[in-house]
Amino acid sequence: MKFDFFNESTPPLIGVDISTSAVKMVELSTAGKGSYRLEGYSIAAIPKDAIVDGNVSGLEQVSDAVKLAWKLLGTREKRTALALPSAAVITKKVLMSAGLREIDMESQVEAEANQYIPFPLEEVNIDFQIIGPAPNNVDEVEVLIAAARKEKIEDRVAAAEDAGLKVTVMDVDTYATEAAYSLIANQLPNAGKDQTVMIVDVGAVMMHINVLHNNVSIYTREQAFGGGQLTQEIQRRFGLSMEEAEIAKRKGGLPDSYESEVLQPFMQSLSTEVARALQFFTSSTQYNRVDHMVLAGGCAAIPAIEVMVQDRTQVNTIVANPFQSMSLGSRVKQQQVAIDAPALIIACGLAMRGVD
């Protein structure tokens, strides 16, 4: 029995990112003031179509992948933080008077939610957070309201609980990305202050765009493009199964023609998609430029992809590595972390919820 009379910090949490193609886990601990130590991480593939459009359609398969990822992580910690895809969450900023008690705020949140949530309130989980004072009025505060269908939350919780884990935090993937970005911002000039930074997270089927200005999110968007297209092309070209193609993509061992005939065209397509996202952002907002690009997701591990994106967009481009200045636990292989880091940005942001 462990007593923690003197332990004021929140208990550690494993950050668990359940994406279309894999379960990714990250475990962090504190390494002194404001710094983290990466204790361990793991990645376990999810079979095709077990997650469709962010929804769990094959509960048993997803739960098996969670179980395997936890086993690979090699930890005893079972408390986890999970995230919902941002598409499953409705968020809205509202103004409320600054002096409200929490209980009055709650009833006002429900009244507000009633107006813009297209489902009966009993089918929805609602949460809110005070962001800070309203920009133009000292008597008001800005409040962020987030709402999601209960079934969306329950599916993910069930997948983790069936694998023997305990879910203590449910976050949103864009907020987790922003938390991890706070570690990456230090790698940019002036730690990202007064800069406009576009985070491009290329998943298996979707490209998630999140633009921050002065380290605050100002714009999010999704484009249908992902690393799954490269896997399919490898399958088609070399007559492999889905699993074989996925392994070959990561580990190598494909014929010499792969680089020039398959990988290079895919990298060109990816750069074109990023350029499109950039143009869409600058033409549809008040911001006419982006100062830095941060590439995340599994595709960001493709060697020299950042060079090609930078050439195409003319914007300084780096690969996301939230662990760059962290000390590493004994279970972590240094060479491998740099390769896997861009895919672990959401799991890292979730794990940060458990470290003060």
| Tokens 């020299």 found at | 304
Locate the DSSP E strands across 243-348.
Answer: 292-296, 316-319, 327-328
Pairwise CA distance, residues 294 & 316, whole Å: 9
Q: What is the pLDDT of residue 157?
A: 94
Q: Which two tokens stand for residue 42?
A: 């793991």
Residues of the chain with pLDDT under 70: 1-11, 356
What number does CATH give the domain 14-87+152-231+256-354? 3.30.420.40
Q: What pLDDT score was predicted for residue 4?
A: 37
Q: Are 206 and 226 in contact (CB under 8 A)?
A: yes
Relative to beta strand 137-149, strand 89-97 is antiparallel
Q: Name the residue ranges covered by the structural domains of the chain.
A: 14-87+152-231+256-354, 88-151
- For tokens 């404001």, the residue is 34
C-alpha 180/C-alpha 118 separation (Å) is: 31
Phi/psi for 170 (5° steps) reads -120, 115
Per the DSSP assignment, residues forming a β-bridge with 311 are none
Helix (H), strand (E) counts: the chain = 11, 16
| pLDDT at residue 356 in the model | 63
CA angle 218, 221, 225 (to 5 degrees): 145
Which residues, in sequence order, are bridge partners of residue 316? 292
Tokens of residue 293, six digits:
């690009």
The DSSP result for 57-74, as a single string, is S-HHHHHHHHHHHHHHHT
The two beta strands, 216-223 and 207-213, are antiparallel
Question: Taking all residues of the chain, what is their mean pLDDT, rounded to a whole number?
Answer: 90
What's at 176, amino acid-wise? A
* Each residue's pLDDT tens digit, 97-131: 988 888 888 888 888 888 888 888 889 988 888 88
Predicted TM-score of the model (pTM): 0.90
CA Rg value for the chain: 21
pLDDT at 8: 43
Separation CA 152–CA 88 (nearest Å): 7
Residue 320: CB partners within 8 Å, gap ≥ 6?
Answer: 180, 181, 184, 199, 294, 295, 296, 300, 341, 342, 345
Give the closest residue to 25 by CA, choosing from 300, 348, 328.
Answer: 348
Q: What pLDDT, in 10s, does the model give residues 208-254?
A: 999 999 988 899 999 999 999 999 999 999 999 988 898 888 888 89
DSSP code of 279? H
| pLDDT attached to residue 120 | 86
CA distance 36 to 30: 5
- The CATH architecture to which 88-151 belongs is 2-Layer Sandwich (3.30)
Q: What pLDDT score was predicted for residue 35?
A: 87
What is the full DSSP assignment across 225-256? --THHHHHHHHHHHT--HHHHHHHHHH----T
Please count the residues of the chain: 356
- How do beta strands 292-296 and 124-134 pair? unpaired
